Structure 1
């Protein structure tokens, strides 16, 4: 599939998605939301891909929703747009491969939501974040209401949502939104190093762990242990596990498929 609002490439089992509407600071509209959902579905079906990177061109990772587009929507159109955009949430969460967000610049509103939906966030020290929805009369969307408080705590989430204030990468790291902060010029190298590391890990184990971690946010321990038992038993039968055991016994480094 050809994409007009993003760039897509796969190299060494690593897929890179670059939001590519710099004149609008990669703001989400119907087109970019549909294409991002579609490329994640393409990746889901591509066994050659083990790790995903998402980033943006220009000064922004994603500066939120395209509010100029909102003016064209009536209530029915608004509902249709929001529900279409919400398909991104499932596309991120249900992708059985780790997603690394490389936050190169502004991650505001829906851009913050995309970072929250990602599995690991590496940020430039020049990046700026904001749950900026209130500043344009909106509530957080794309799962931000679900994930933000779970990462930052309820009181901090309320502060960020009610004020809509900007905060820097160091603050984002301190409150649990960002995993790693690096100098802006070193962002690409840091993301490349981590993505290559993950690409060398066993795919089924990572997929199972991602699913269980996401489910574990809402399940009780007994329910999670039941699912864990099935997942672990399945992993034990994989070629990757057998390779790891053989490598351990023979004192060599495992090579996973």
Structure 2
């Protein structure tokens, strides 16, 4: 296992609040666009989280009133025009690897979305386990607006599972903006929180998860991912095996002992 308390990324902000990691993009003057470097460093960060025993939950927050404006027009979109097919495929695979890393990191990820959340920014929010929004949040999967397909970074697979096929189809075909109220009503956002309270609310939620049975949370996240491609029978069997593993943890015994003693369990993640 590794520790990430001293992790110092070059292309985004990182800080720890106990065992909660807080990530924000660091270009607020341009509404926090992604670059080739920030894509790659974020991917590597979430891959490393699998082995980080000092991080139990992650908040992906906003900065300067915005979440993320997608790929930087000058640093990414411009150079893509002159790339070969081989180079383009390497880029699109890298961006997809960020989604895979977020889904596979073994930690609950909470997006705290304020202001602009479009393109790859909308994908990052989509790839999180839970999403909180400020009333000003504007989310758009605007790939068709730049002449591309809506099927970017897993959007056609993941978004319909969150908000339904018809609603996802509308957003992915039109590229239009989804308001915070609409996103909450459709189930994309878990709830809407005033902007001044957004990050604190997300961190509080993350801390509650971090204080829970973190091995159990890892298993929950693992099964949420794996069961996408399983039949019902396969999923029930897989969950039987996963739950039997969790029943061997010390946290399971701690919960029982606390119940008998009429106390609140204190979980330690083992």
TM-score by length of 1: 0.95
- What is the CA distance between 1:51 and its match in structure 2? 0.5
Q: What count of residue pairs does the alignment treat as equivalent?
A: 257
Of residues 127-136 and 41-50 in structure 1, the stretch that sits farther from structure 2 once superposed is 41-50
Tell me what 1:70 maps to. 77
Matched, 1:218 2:222: no
Tell me what 2:116 maps to. 106
Matched, 1:38 2:44: yes
Tell me what 1:14 maps to. 20
Retained in 1: the 8 A contact 2:135–2:195? Answer: yes
Tell me what 2:206 maps to. 195
Task: Kindly provide the CA deviation profile for residues 31-90 of structure 1, in whole angstroms up to 9, marking residues without a partner as x.
Answer: 110111122123222111111111131232111112322222313322221111111011
- Provide the rounded CA distance (Å) in 1 between the counterparts of 2:178 and 2:121: 13
Tell me what 2:4 maps to. none
- Provide the rounded CA distance (Å) in 1 between the counterparts of 2:40 and 2:171: 28
Aligned residue among 108, 120, 128 for 2:130: 120
Matched, 1:60 2:66: yes
- Provide the rounded CA distance (Å) in 2 between the counterparts of 1:195 and 1:149: 25
Aligned residue among 230, 255, 264 for 1:253: 264
Retained in 2: the 8 A contact 1:3–1:35? Answer: yes
Gaps of 5+ in 1: none
- Provide the rounded CA distance (Å) in 2 between the counterparts of 1:65 and 1:43: 24
Gaps of 5+ in 2: 1-6
TM-score by length of 2: 0.91
Aligned residue among 241, 245, 256 for 1:230: 241
- What is the CA distance between 1:26 and its match in structure 2? 1.8
Tell me what 1:90 maps to. 100
Tell me what 1:50 maps to. 56
- Provide the rounded CA distance (Å) in 1 between the counterparts of 2:227 and 2:48: 27
- What is the CA distance between 1:218 and its match in structure 2? 2.9
- What is the CA distance between 1:24 and its match in structure 2? 3.0
Correspondence list, 1:131-150, <5 A: 131-140=141-150, 141-150=152-161
Of residues 101-110 and 21-30 in structure 1, the stretch that sits farther from structure 2 once superposed is 21-30
Of residues 56-65 and 226-235 in structure 1, the stretch that sits farther from structure 2 once superposed is 56-65
- Provide the rounded CA distance (Å) in 2 between the counterparts of 1:132 and 1:158: 12
Tell me what 1:4 maps to. 10
Tell me what 1:181 maps to. 192
Of residues 18-27 and 198-207 in structure 1, the stretch that sits farther from structure 2 once superposed is 18-27
- Provide the rounded CA distance (Å) in 1 between the counterparts of 2:67 and 2:196: 15
- Provide the rounded CA distance (Å) in 1 between the counterparts of 2:228 and 2:135: 29
- What is the CA distance between 1:152 and its match in structure 2? 2.0
CA RMSD of aligned residues (A): 1.4
